[in-house]
Structure 1
Amino acid sequence: MRYFTIAELIKSETADKKAIDNRLPKELLPNAQALVDNVLDPLREAYGKPITVTSGYRCPALNKAVGGSKTSDHMNGCAADIVGTPNTPKENKRLFNLIQELKLPFDQVIDEENFSWVHVSHRREGNRNQVLKL
């Protein structure tokens, strides 16, 4: 974990506003570390400038509060929504493409709302390499 911290992965304005305890359970720590070590850190290294995690781990209550999927990888500590610097569709598209060009071991990479942000997930086993647009 060179460029990212667990604190960044659990930070949530919604959790703060709604007083939701969004601490990462110890048993999910290996998932979050694998996401950072295998995808986020190598992506940041290649990108060459800061990447912001806008949503990382979400406890079930937080996931429900933000309208997340009932099967969201965010709840397993395996996913992050990210934006580039500056946060523009052009930079976010660059991240989306870079994840694929680098052949990073992702489960899903998703263009969310015309590159308003990029969702990326990583599983410690069984990554599907799905490229999606929502």
Structure 2
Amino acid sequence: MKHFTMGELCASTTADAHNIKNTPPLQEAGNLKALAENVLDPLREWFGKPIYVNSGYRSPQLNRMVGGAPTSQHMKGEAADITTGSKAENKKLFDYIKSNLPFDQVIDEKDYSWVHVSYKRDGSNRKQVLKL
């Protein structure tokens, strides 16, 4: 992991505010590492500017609290919601991921308010492109 730390992939103001432990188990930590090495770090290398993680790993308790899907890949450490702080720049990230990187899902969330990207380290990536 070159440009992202495990701490930022697990950080949550909601978890902090509600005293929820959001430390990933070993399997999930390995998945986060694979996500960073295969998608997030290459994306950052290409982009050349900071990319921020809004939401990475979520413990089941945290996922319920934030209204995440019961089968959310965030709970598996396979997903991150990322942003540059700009919808136009987020669209660039989305388009680059879609065309150049391995991924399971890439989702345009709320007209590029952020980009959800997931990656399965077992290689069974579906390359789903979605808009929510």
State the distance in 2 between where 1:41 and 1:89 align: 20
Structure 2-normalised TM-score?
0.97
Match of 2:119 in 1: 122
Structure 1-normalised TM-score?
0.96
Identical pairs, percent: 58
Unmatched 5+ residue regions in structure 1? none
Provide, for residues 49-76 of structure 1, a one-character-per-residue CA deviation record: whole Å limited to 9, x for no partner.
Answer: 0100000000000000100000000000
Match of 1:112 in 2: 109
AA in 1 matched with 2:96: L
Q: How does 1:1-134 map to 2 (within 5 A)?
A: 1-84=1-84, 87-102=85-100, 104-124=101-121, 125-134=123-132
Specify the SS of the correspondent of 1:22: coil
Count of aligned pairs between the two proteins = 131
Provide, for residues 74-105 of structure 1, a one-character-per-residue CA deviation record: whole Å limited to 9, x for no partner.
Answer: 00000000001xx1110111110111222x11
State the distance in 1 between where 2:113 and 2:27 align: 31
Q: Which runs of 4+ in 1 moved over 4 A?
A: none
